[in-house]
């Protein structure tokens, strides 16, 4: 199978059909038997999606007029070719010839693909200069996302956009029930894996180079998990105490659920809910690997009357559904799939779930609101609106040396200390 053609087919599912990159890869990669081939195709797909707006600008200049919708696979094939020429260490003649070879199912496209890629090689400097004069191409994001980040972070938006286009480092969370971070760093070193402790999170390690989880000492036994250090902060901030009942709302895939249980082994119990049964199964699988126990339930967090019993919780983690603008570097298809109208819908959902969660919190209890977003409307403005109407809510200051103190809560901008973009606000219910 031609690997460029395979990548083009996967990308057509994302760019043309609106499928998530994760889902498209899960469907397309198993067709390839060789692990190196799968890695190469995955790198092509992530690369094209990550650099889509810059690549699409160049392709538009080269084509003159767009291809027909029925030829979406030829467009994605051209993007694959351009990505190789711009960003990969593939020899130009090999990139061109192998990409042209992928047109065997549409012989008419052979000359087009060959001509476009060779024209790019001749005109690359002029095309790059033209891209620098076009804001969407230069910043490599849709204009509406550029505008939204510029409004919220006028002094920092270009830095955030640049961080979005970098491959994220691999962070580990050490299971404190089984080992210490110092001991695990020694175990990594013994395997020839270099890692550094993260100073703002006592369970986090940042690897110098990403590795397959199978190479991590004790991974299958639950000694360690993969989780960005910004997400690991949730368990520390929630600060669950011995004897507490904890509710983790919108819990999938379960990283924060597990971190809470690892940090506090003397809970009375923890309930993890998620509206998606398949995603909740991932929570259960993660807990099983880590030898942890929690009550799991498929449930709509915004309608607790359908599932909540008279029990009330001393600690609630609400990892609210959000735009994901803080994790674009891990999920670059967010740039292609998210729409401007989504934000208002998400904001309304967040407000509804926040109100629902508050009713389940005991007096004196603590709720931690979290998102992987950098948009103020989902974060500090959401909390401001909640506090304006909830008279029994008191905000607790998050005193930390990471992130930015905001009028409400604390914001991590993407790339700070190499972390994902994250937001946290901590609220206590009056007695």
Contact 10, 42 (CB under 8 A): no
372 is catalytic: yes
Which DSSP state fits 413? P
Rg over CA atoms, the chain: 23
d(CA 412, CA 382): 16
d(CA 408, CA 396): 9
Residue 253 preceded by cis peptide, ω within 30: yes
- Beta-strand ranges (E) seen in 5-106 are none
Please provide the DSSP assignment of 167-180 as one string.
PPPPEEEE-TTT--
| Catalytic one of 6, 45, 322, 372 | 372
Contact 260, 174 (CB under 8 A): no
* Six token digits for residue 7: 């990548």
H or E element in which residue 123 lies: helix 109-132
Residues 404, 410, 411, 415: what is their CA dihedral angle, to the nearest 10 degrees?
70
Which DSSP state fits 272? E
* Six token digits for residue 393: 């809510």
Token pair 């520390």: residue: 236
* Six token digits for residue 231: 């997400």
3-state class of 127 per DSSP? helix
Contact 160, 413 (CB under 8 A): yes
Q: Which residues are catalytic?
A: 372
């Amino acid at each position: 199978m031609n690997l460029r053609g395979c990548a083009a087919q996967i990308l057509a599912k994302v760019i043309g059909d609106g499928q998530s990159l994760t889902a498209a890869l899960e469907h397309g990669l198993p067709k390839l038997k060789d692990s190196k081939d799968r890695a190469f195709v995955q790198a092509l797909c992530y690369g094209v999606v990550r650099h889509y707006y810059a690549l699409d600008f160049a392709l538009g200049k080269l084509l003159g007029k767009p291809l027909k919708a029925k030829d979406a696979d030829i467009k994605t094939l051209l993007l694959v070719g351009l990505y190789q020429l711009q960003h990969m260490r593939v020899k130009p003649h090999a990139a061109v010839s192998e990409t042209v070879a992928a047109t065997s199912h549409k012989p008419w496209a052979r000359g087009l693909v060959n001509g476009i890629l060779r024209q790019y090689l001749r005109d690359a400097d002029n095309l790059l200069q033209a891209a620098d004069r076009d804001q969407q191409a230069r910043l490599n994001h849709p204009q509406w996302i550029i505008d939204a980040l510029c409004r919220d972070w006028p002094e920092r938006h270009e830095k955030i956009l640049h961080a979005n286009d970098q491959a994220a480092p691999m962070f580990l969370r050490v299971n404190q029930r089984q080992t210490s971070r110092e001991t695990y760093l020694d175990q990594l070193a013994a395997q020839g894996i270099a890692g550094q402790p993260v100073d703002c999170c006592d369970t986090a390690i940042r690897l110098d180079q990403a590795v397959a989880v199978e190479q991590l000492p004790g991974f299958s036994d639950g000694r360690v998990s993969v989780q960005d250090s910004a997400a690991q902060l949730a368990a520390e901030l929630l600060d669950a105490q011995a004897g507490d009942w904890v509710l983790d709302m919108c819990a999938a895939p379960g990283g924060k659920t597990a971190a809470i249980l690892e940090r506090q082994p003397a809970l009375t119990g923890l309930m993890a809910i998620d509206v998606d049964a398949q995603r909740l199964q991932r929570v259960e699988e993660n807990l099983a690997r880590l030898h942890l126990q929690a009550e799991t339930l498929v449930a709509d967090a915004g309608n607790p009357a359908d599932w909540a019993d008279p029990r009330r919780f001393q600690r609630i983690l609400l990892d609210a559904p959000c735009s994901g603008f803080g994790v674009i570097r891990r999920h670059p298809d967010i740039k292609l799939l998210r729409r401007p109208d989504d934000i208002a819908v998400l904001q309304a959902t967040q407000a509804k779930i926040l109100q629902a969660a508050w009713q389940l919190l005991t007096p004196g209890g603590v709720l931690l609101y979290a998102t992987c977003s950098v948009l103020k409307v989902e974060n500090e403005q959401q909390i401001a609106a909640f506090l304006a109407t909830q008279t029994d809510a008191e905000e607790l200051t998050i005193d930390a040396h990471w992130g930015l103190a905001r009028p409400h809560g604390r914001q991590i901008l993407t790339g700070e200390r190499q972390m994902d973009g994250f937001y946290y606000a901590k609220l206590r219910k009056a007695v």
